[in-house]
Amino acid sequence: MAKFIFSAFADEAGPTLAEQLDALKANGMTLLEPRKLDDGNVSDYTPEMAKKVRKALDDAGIGVSAVGSGYGKIRITDDFAPHFEAFKQTVEVAHVLGTDKIRMFSFYMPEGEEPAVYRDAVFERLEQFADYSRKNGVWCCHENEKGIFGDVTERCLDILKTFDGKIKGVFDPANFIQCGVKPLEAWEVLAPFIEYMHIKDARFADGGVVPPGKGDGFVPELLRRFAEKDGERILTLEPHLKVFDGLKDLETVSGSVFSVTGDYSYPTNRAAFDAAAAALRDILPR
């Protein structure tokens, strides 16, 4: 049975690294997937900037699970050259931060056009990412983001089979739901290629993100299936929950979850993060 190691996009708890580290420690998490930090997005950090982050992480006893980059989150028709040059720098940042993983994507498709038309262009760019990162001891980890080439099961499988041994998979149940894909069916196909999971749940009815286990993602069952693998497995919490301004809109309170017009909303980013972490703990396999 797997041993789960807990990470998070802690920028959803607070904008500063200090706030993020506090949220992680308060919720018993030992890893961070850095995305937005004190000086902007981690994709824009230089190795020198990353050294300061690494010191703060080491002092707090927190490691890095993966670099939460935005690479591949541009239009397939955009100029790739500057994007790829920035990626090379982020590979160095990954080394500084002590991780061998960079989360990435497979490019936004032009609206209304068939993704298959752009397969060759997408795969050419992914190959450049993968070849460079593997040459430098880092794995690209592809996330199924809505609107990109690899946003549904079939195209995720195409990527992960084609680049088997070069690119690993990140499984995000909520993103699949927002694309009309049933997460359990996707898992059955993609499980052999999945390196880690994003813990995020959503509803088919409106695509709204809810705490883990409260939506249609069958997240408890996904965790049970992921736990069947031996060794350490990373779960990265990504709350994506609503935060409302002021308590005047508050209608009901149920435990740590504030309900506004029947939805899950919270008075602060930290409250939303803590609620998502609590929900994750409640659905872990026993």
What is the arithmetic mean of pLDDT over 267-272?
96
What is the arithmetic mean of pLDDT over 96-107?
98
Task: Give the separation between CA 105 and CA 23, rounded to whole angstroms.
Answer: 27
Q: What is the pLDDT of residue 216?
A: 98
Residue 259 predicted with pLDDT over 80: no
- Name the 3-class secondary structure at 166: coil
- Amino acid, res. 130: A
Under the banding of pLDDT at 50, 70 and 90, the label for residue 1 is confident
Residue 121 predicted with pLDDT over 70: yes
Residue 192 predicted with pLDDT over 80: yes
Q: What is the pLDDT of residue 260?
A: 39
* Percent of the chain whose pLDDT exceeds 90: 90
CB 209 within 8 A of CB 197: no
Residue 37 predicted with pLDDT over 50: yes
Task: Give the separation between CA 110 and CA 76, rounded to whole angstroms.
Answer: 8
Residue 248 predicted with pLDDT over 80: no
Q: What is the pLDDT of residue 245?
A: 59
Q: Which domains does the chain have, with CATH numbers?
A: 2-241+269-283 (3.20.20.150)
Residue 275's closest CA among 201, 176, 170, 196?
201
Q: What is the pLDDT of residue 286?
A: 84
Task: Give the separation between CA 10 and CA 20, rounded to whole angstroms.
Answer: 5
The DSSP secondary structure of 175-218, one letter per residue, reads HHHHTT--HHHHHHHHGGGEEEEEE-EE-TTT--EESTTSSSS-
User: What pTM was computed for the model?
Assistant: 0.93
Average pLDDT, the chain: 94
Can you list the alpha helix ranges (DSSP code H) found in the chain?
A: 17-26, 47-60, 81-97, 119-135, 153-162, 173-178, 183-190, 219-226, 269-283
Cβ neighbours around 115 below 10 Å, total: 21
Q: What is the pLDDT of residue 251?
A: 38
